[in-house]
Each structure stands twice: as structure tokens, then as C-alpha cells.
Amino acid sequence: MPNTSLLDKIQDSAFYLLKRIPQKPKVGIIFGSGLGGAWLEKHSAIEISYSEIPHYLKSTVLGHPGRLLFGKTGQISWVAAEGRFHFYEGYSMEEVVYPIRVFKSLGVDTLLLTNAAGGLNPKFKVGDFILISDHINFTGHHPLRGKNEEKLGPRFPEMSRAYDPHLIKSLLNSAQRLKIKVKKGIYIGISGPSYETGAEVKMFRKLGGDVVGMSTVPEVIAAAHLGLKTAVISCITNMLLPPSKAPLSHDRVLRNAKENQYKLYQILEDYLCNLK
């Protein structure tokens, strides 16, 4: 039997999901480490495990349960992923961005990405939420490497507006209505899974980075390729500059994310309720 093509795999995954849901989602959400559980339990109507979906992979990281949830907030139907795929798990870049491509095939035109990130900007603190205005790809890899699928997007996608300014403004307006302070910053994406050395932290800050993390950048590139309107909200779960006295650990990242997740939920709810 010949190998199934990427486009056929995407179609298979989307066809399976569309049979299970009452209507196509308009908004796609990916929740980062420790950020999704309570909001999804409150809002979701349908839950589908990754293991049930044709061609889907398995999320292997603590804090990423591995399920898609479908629901409706206000008049807007959405699909949310609780559990993303990371390059450091051993997946290829094509596999890492596979869910973004399935979202597009489901009917999504707006993508909201969230993540837990380390703070590089000394003006930030743990618990802050940062709307990402741009990124620097320090992973050393690219999700569009190889043969381009013209049905997905152009060979050379434009990246200067990968972070949609109108979408960012709408999320900022939601935060202002709720009196939640949200800052803006530049995200540096690394491959992981080790945390940053002191020398790397100093270099990233000198390059203009405000936050750093091990996800998101490949997803944003794939979303730009697909023509999706995209915004990213980072939750600062640990500060890197000046060096923290407390040792870094994934348990600490998850704990800090969960302690601050409700502010994120309020912003998302307000945004979705005011979306037309």
C-alpha cells in the first residue's frame, strides 16, 4: 500500500472530526502547559482523545493531556487542543504543526495560541500575560522545509504580519474591559528540552527577546502559511533575568500556570463573546 500523503492525512483527520461535531469551528485554541483544564471543563461540549483521531500523535508531556474539545462561547464555535506536540519529544516539524493544518481544514480562520514561557524582560514578573508581537526562531529548524504543498499555502509565506494586529488589539480591548494588565513582547523559540543557560539568557535578551519557550513558533509559521489570523498569549511562569534563585523545574512551571490561568480564561471568554 502506498504511503498516505500529507493532504490525505489532514483530510482523514478532519473528516473524522466533522462527523462528530454539530458545526464547524471558527476559532482554534491551543492551551499551553497547565493552562487549559478548568476552562475547558466549564465550556466544552464534546471531548475527543487524540488516540481516536486518524493520523494524530500522542502528547507525551506532563500538563498536556492530549484531547480536542469542541464548544461554543457566545455565538462562536471553537475547537481547543489541550496538549500540543513539541519538537523535543522527537516529532518532526511537520508532525508538530499537524494540528494547525487540521484546524484549518475544519473551518477555523482564527487561531489563539497560549503557552507557558520564561521571562527575559526584567519589567515582567511571574503571572504576567504577554501578547506576542513577533518572534525569533532559534530552534534551528523550520516546519515548511521540504516540498511545498500549494494547496496549504505559498512556497514563501510572508511573516511580517504573522501576529495579526487587529486580533491583538481585540484581545487587548478584552483585557482592558476586565482590568487585567497585559503586556506585549517578543518571543524567542528554542527547541528544548533543557532550560536555558545563563549565557543564553543574556544573549536572548540582547537580541531583543522578552520571553522564551519551547513551542509556538513552528505553529505560528504554519498558521501564516495557511493564512490564519493568529495571536499568542504567553503566561510568564518563571523569570530568567536576573537569574532566579529557585531552581527551574517543569512542576514549578505547571504550578505557576495553574495559579494564573483564570485571568487567561476571562480574556478568552470576553473576546469570544464580543466576536461577530
Q: Which residues are catalytic?
A: 33, 64, 86, 88-89, 116, 214-215, 238, 250
Q: Are 67 and 83 in contact (CB under 8 A)?
A: yes
**Residue 135 corresponds to which cell in the numbers above?**
518572534
Q: In DSSP terms, which residues pair with 137 in a beta bridge?
A: 189
What is the DSSP pairing of strand 182-189 with strand 67-73? unpaired
What secondary structure does DSSP assign to the chain, as a single string? Answer: -PPPPHHHHHHHHHHHHHTTSSS--SEEEEE-TT-SHHHHHHHEEEEEEGGGSTT-----STT---EEEEEEETTEEEEEEES---GGGT--HHHHTHHHHHHHHHT--EEEEEEEEEE-STT--TT-EEEEEEEEE-SS--TT-SS--TTT--SS---TTSS-HHHHHHHHHHHHHTT--EEEEEEEE---SSPPPHHHHHHHHHTT-SEEESSSHHHHHHHHHHT-EEEEEEEEEEETTTTPSSPP-HHHHHHHHHHHHHHHHHHHHHHHHT--
Query: Cα–Cα distance between 212 and 189 in angstroms, integer?
Result: 6
